[in-house]
Each structure stands twice: as C-alpha cells, then as structure tokens.
Structure 1
Amino acid sequence: MWTPSRWLRDLDVLRALSGDQKLNYLGFSYGTYLGAIYAELFPANTGRMVLDGAVDPTLSLGGRATGQAKGFETSLRTYVEQCQSGQAVQEGQGCPLTGDADAGVQQIRALITSADQTPLKTADPNVTVDGRTIRSVVRRFLYSSEYWPLLTYALDQAITQKDGSYVQVLYGRATAGSSTPTFYAVNCQDIPVQGDVTSWEKEYRQNLQSSPTFGASLSNQDARCQAWGHSGTREPAPIHAKGAAPILVVGTTGDPATPYAWAQALAEQLESGQLLTWEGDGHTAYGRSNDCVKKAVDTYLLNGTMPDKGLTC
C-alpha cells in the first residue's frame, strides 16, 4: 500500500544512491506535505527546501475540505470583482456579470443551476454542458489568475448566448492528464478516516453555508475513503522537523486550494521554517508571480541564502 512515509523513504534511498549528501527540494501544493514529512523523517539529510502552496499537516481530510471550500468561494468573489472592473477580461471584451460582486457571484450560481436543469448546447451537436461541468471549469480556473480572461470569455458565451462551447474547451484543457480517482486514493491513504455519518452531514451543511458554489462538491472526503475501505495511518499533527536546515514556506494571500493560513501554520510549526508571502491570487507563487518571489526562491535554492524574514512580495 502506498503511503507518504514509504515513498519518502524510497526518495531518501535515491538521494543516497545519487551521491548527494543532502536533498534539495522544491515542492508545490501536495508536494509541500511530502517535503515537510521528509524533513521530519530525515532532518539531517534535508538540504535547501522550498515549500510553495503549503498544506497544513494538522488538518483532517474534513478540515482540508472546509478550508478549500472557503478559499474557492473567496477566490470566486475576487474573480468577479476583477471581471467587473475590467481586469479579468480580454482586450475588447466586456464582463457579463452585472451589478456588484454579490450579484455577479449569484449570476454564476444561477448559470450552474440552470445548466443542470437544461444543459447548454455546444458546437458539437452530440455534446452538451451541464452545471457540474461549469462548476468544475470555474473552480479549476480559479487556480490560475493569469487565465481568468479565458474564464470570462467562456462565461460570457454561456450567459449571453446560452452556448457552452468554450466552457467545454476549457474543461478539456483543465482535465487533460488529471485523474480524480488517483487524487482521492492518495488523500485516503494520507490520513485516517475521522467522524461518522452524523459529523459528515454537519460538515456538508457547514461547507454549503460558507461556500454555496463549491461546498457540496468538496465535502465528505472521509465518507469516500470509508466507502472505499482504505485510509492512512498518520494522524493529523504538527510537523517540526527539528534539526533540519532552513525551510522556506511560500504562501499566496489569495490561494484558493491551499489557503494562506495553511502556509502561515506550516511555517510556524517547522522549527526552521520561514514564511515568504506573495500578495496575489491563484494557486502557488513561484513561476507565476513576480520577480520578488523568483529572486527569493532562486537565491535560496542556488546559493543557500534565505530572504529577509517577513518578506512580502
């Protein structure tokens, strides 16, 4: 059975076979969880480590889902505000979301509900787009604020023309090479199942209240793992990695998938952790943010010099 600790022990064997005394590591998103556990297991072998888009290891599966539900709902509102202000649109294009931000969010929810009842036509007469597909596209494109103008184009076509053609194009791009079953399987083998039907129903209602758009689809990971019959053995707990070299944790203030609070928590837990903040939107920072983040990360990975404490880019 695959478990993080088993895989990370294999990784340390590869480090040794390669002749490297230390493992230098750049991890994104779930890779931050693996990196933190590696540092906990092998602090003396941990070299220059950067963890971008951090997962808080103290969270249960339900806790992760609750954080993401709130994160994506907040990010959706930010997207709507940028669409309405003309920032998240292509040149010569308008935003189809009218009124204030609350009204714009409600228009997206209404589109999803309507498409569930009457799927949208597309350029392919054999393909229609339902609300689930629209919700999936919106959520996936909230990961990358640089692509928000494409999302606006798709929503404009869907809302004003009742045409889901470009939504379907974006859905194909977003899901190419991805595997939802693999995602659930890996999560299930991370952490033991917690709770029961009563607590899962409560979690579902709370997530739906805090995130009417995404709460339902993100809830009840524990129930899925229980139904599958597999779960992990590592109880949610802080990771300190005592004795490890400095670890740079990068957090994005508008990250929907790994909320900024998770990066703050991990940096605080790690004995040698230090937080680098990017004031931006979307998932992770390095490689898609600005020169300030790039310089800080590159300088540490290449030269071993950490950025100034408390640096915000």
Structure 2
Amino acid sequence: MRFLVAGATCALLLPTVTHAADAHDLISPARCELRFNRLMNCQLPQALLTTPTAETAVPLRTTLRSVVSGNCSTQYPLEARAETAGASPVFIPYLQNNKEVRLRAAGGAPVSAFTLSDASTWTASAVLDSSCRISLEIHWNEVDVSSTGEAQALITALNADIAAAESHADRMEELMLYQRAYAFMYSLADQFRTELSNESMQELRAAALEAGPAVESMILNCADLSFEERLALLRLHGSLWVLGQPEDWQRPDGTVMTMEDHLGPGASEILARLNAILARQTGNPPDYAQLYEAAKTEIVRLKNKKSLALAQLAPWLP
C-alpha cells in the first residue's frame, strides 16, 4: 500500500479570498500504460491527502471536483472513494467533468486528512484515448453555507448559546453567593445558640428567675430607696424576661436544644434537606466559585467564536 501526501493549502477558506485548490492526478500517462495511442491498465493507488487546519466557528466542507480534458469515453463506470475519520465516505464518478461531491467531517469540523482510493473494479480494464486527462481538484474546508438564511441561522444559534451560557453563569454566581452565605449564617447562628445555651447562661437564667420576686419586693416595699433607684430596679426587672427560662433552651429530657429544635418543624425540615445535600457532597463538594469562573470563561469563548463566525460568514450576511 502506497500513501501520497498532497500539497497543503489553508484550512480555513473564506469565500472572499481565492485559494488555489490542490490537485490529485487520477487518469494520465503517469497512472496508465500508453500503448497503441491508448491508455490501458490504469491504476489508482490509495493515497492519504492532508492539509493543515485552523480554528473555525462554523461548519466546514471540503469540495472534490473532477476536471476532465481530452477524450475520456469508456463503457466502464469508473469512480473513486474519499473517506475521512468519523464520517461516511463519498464517491466521485470522475468521468463527468466538473462533477462535485462534498466531504464533511463529524460535526462540521475541519477535514485535516482523507483517504482517496479506487472504488471501481473496472479501472484496469478501461481503455481510454491517449488524450484523456482527469484530475481531482480539492477545495479544502470551505464554509458550509449556501445562502443568507443558512448563515443567519448559524449566528442565531450562537446567540442562543451565548444567552444560555450567561444564564448558567448567573445561576453559578447565585449558588456561589448562597454557598458562602449559608455556611456563614449557619456557623454564626450555631455559635449564638452555643453561647446562649451554655452552662453559664442557664445558671444566669435560673438566678434571674430566683431573684425576680426579691427585686419586685424591693421596688414595692423598700422605703430607703430613692425614686431613681426604684426606677433603675424596675428597668432591670423588666429586662430579665429577655433571658427566658432554662427550659426554653432544653429538650424535655434536659439535653440542650439543637438548631433544628429552635427553628421548629417547618424550618428544620428545610435545614435537614440542606444538610443532607451537604453530607452527600462531603467527599467532593462543588466549588461554585470555580464553576462561576469557568462559566464566565465560556461566555468569553462563545463571544469570540461569534466574532470569528461573523468574519467567516461576512459574504452571506447583510
């Protein structure tokens, strides 16, 4: 098996620029035996044709065109086969002058290489006039649009991708802020709960309840107190209720209440769900700050892609 490498042209062919096509010889004295003014026993060995590729924002196609000159009349249906990775092969009935077929890579990606081979069992049997010359023009990676409508549809799709990426970035920002706020607020609230339900605070509440009647008696019955002193004691007595009672911070079994106990059944159910989510993510919790940065980077990439697409599609856009 022999492989030939064709000359390379620019992979990103914009319609506004004229590029010389590669040419590959199919029928000529170099491919056939010249006997009795006839071309006989023609051979079309398999060839690997390659070209450099460039970034593209729109689908591309590679056009293969047969160029026929001289007398190439024959009864045999000669054709070649072109195939690139990840795509269906195309067949070129190259006896027809200016016959075009289009080779497309998967997803409209640039074609960097394709294999050209003989697809006919009759090639060696054909007897052609010595004037017959057939070559294959290869127009690498042209923009795969044929109308303004197709070009506008590609730009519309890119606009939709950008809008979706921006929406995703907004969502990641919300989750990033929520993740930070939830962690902070839960930690802060739990710290307050711990401080307000520790042993010293419980003793203070018990002492306040025990001292309440004595303070009331002093306010009402102690004749040695001035008006200002009575007023100060009254304010103190009126503030003691803020401390609450020790049982307000305890479960029926005497243990300290948790955050869920304080929030009540409705809120504690929501908190339980959030904690369950966090528990499942303990091994590898999502970093929403990193995801947000990645989402912003994707927006920039898509906008750059749109700029490139506008340049590539300029001949078809109003």
TM-score, length basis structure 1: 0.20
- Structure with bigger helix share is 1
**Max radius of gyration: which structure?**
2
- Structure with bigger strand share is 2
Compare relative contact order (CA 8 Å, sep 6+) and give the higher one, 1 or 2: 1
TM-score, length basis structure 2: 0.20
